[in-house]
A = this chain, B = another copy of it.
């Protein structure tokens, strides 16, 4: 692959322009108003996959947003790699915190700045360009299938059904995904664990209308006060979750594994400095890496109620709302946890309010064994391009569909993520290091090559 670096160098401006054409389409899956952008983005992906060298590519309808599926066949006995990615992105608010338009990508300080620059337009597009290189160079050693969906950020609901329906079409030896991060440019890593997720909306209703806080305050339950009290009761002083049976299925990690994890390079001081906090905060008895890697959590992702404008309004509001996210670890069942939450939350509401719990989306945790062929191939690929053996890590994030792939299709996934924590995915000023984008395109062909070689043996 002597010409690989040259090829990337010579075509990088075109690669970026093509990526930007995807980024410019504001494909926010959680907002109804962007329905047409989803279709537009799917069609743009189709064009790009065909241009990169696929035999065929289609925008396939689902009950929700369409799935882009493309493939290139080679010798029928070659191993099959199914590339998974998503073309939908997160909302962009608060918009005022962005330094440049989230849907007008800019390159500053060696980074691409835009919503989706990393998650997941930038990362999944690396695969299209690595594929293009292998096709053009006549060096494609595997059958390749692309499956790019449009609902990852809202739970991949339609993709579960899509997988059920198209099992034959999706047959593959491994699913290759770039939708995670690595420790640092100098410390490549492969994600071997993902947390599961239960996400729910809760609503507390007190009086049937907003009341004057003076005339009624102190005598009528204030839904904000009540919501705060109910939420607070969900965790104890040790930051353990108090929902009965919440921890029943959590597998405790052995001392050996914990001491191995503790050896991963990590600076608490750098971590705190990067996000400007004086202290970390989490479950007693666990380190920061353990808290996000092997322990379940309960986080409020949003809360609102009453008057939130400028100045003061003396109101006892009718309603208060919150969005609750629980990250789960392997062996916890998302549906079961959502049910436990709902039952418990309803049971702790005082009689003076009404409570409504609406499960939003969820998914299971995933573990990728480090002795599988794909892991070994990925390891060698990183060594080839980064010059270092990658560290296996457990991410605190969730890609629920990854566990779904294993369950429905019986295929394991290998998570070769090239993002960084500082990429601010899901936040204002999302970015993706140009160097990582290009390094990803360079590393992927090595993965294919080693993987095909090892699968032959």
Residues of chain A at the chain B interface (Cβ within 8 Å)? 29-32, 90-91, 93-94, 97, 153-155, 181, 195, 197, 199, 201, 206-222, 224-229, 231-233, 235, 275-283, 288-289, 291-292, 295-317, 320-323, 325, 327, 350-354, 360-361, 395-398, 421, 424-429
Cβ 8 A contact of A395, one of B29, B31, B215, B218: B215
Inter-chain contact A312/B323, CB cutoff 8 Å: yes
Bound-state CA distance A276–B215 (Å) is 16
Specify which chain B residues have a CB less than 8 angstroms from the CB of A281 in the assembled complex: 219-222, 226, 350, 352-353
**Can you report 9 A-B residue pairs in the complex whose CB atoms are below 8 A from each other?**
A214-B292, A216-B275, A218-B327, A219-B288, A278-B352, A299-B316, A301-B306, A302-B305, A315-B426
* Nearest neighbor of A200 in chain B, beta-carbon distance: B312
**Most chain B beta carbons < 10 A, residue from A197, A214, A425:** A214
Given known contacts A199-B312, A231-B225, A299 and B30 CB-to-CB distance under 8 angstroms: no
Contacts A224-B300, A226-B281 supplied; 15 other A-B pairs, CB < 8 Å: A199-B312, A214-B395, A215-B395, A215-B397, A218-B283, A218-B291, A218-B292, A221-B280, A222-B299, A224-B302, A228-B228, A228-B300, A232-B233, A277-B352, A301-B307
Cβ 8 A contact of A303, one of B90, B279, B320, B396: B320
Chain B nearest CB: distance from A215 CB in Å? 5
Cβ 8 A contact of A276, one of B208, B233, B278: B208
Specify which chain B residues have a CB less than 8 angstroms from the CB of A208 in the assembled complex: 275-277
Cβ 8 A contact of A278, one of B211, B313, B323, B351: B351
Chain B nearest CB: distance from A189 CB in Å? 13
Specify which chain B residues have a CB less than 8 angstroms from the CB of A311 in the assembled complex: 29-31, 91, 154, 360
**Most chain B beta carbons < 10 A, residue from A91, A155, A201, A299:** A299
Cβ 8 A contact of A360, one of B210, B222, B312, B320: B312
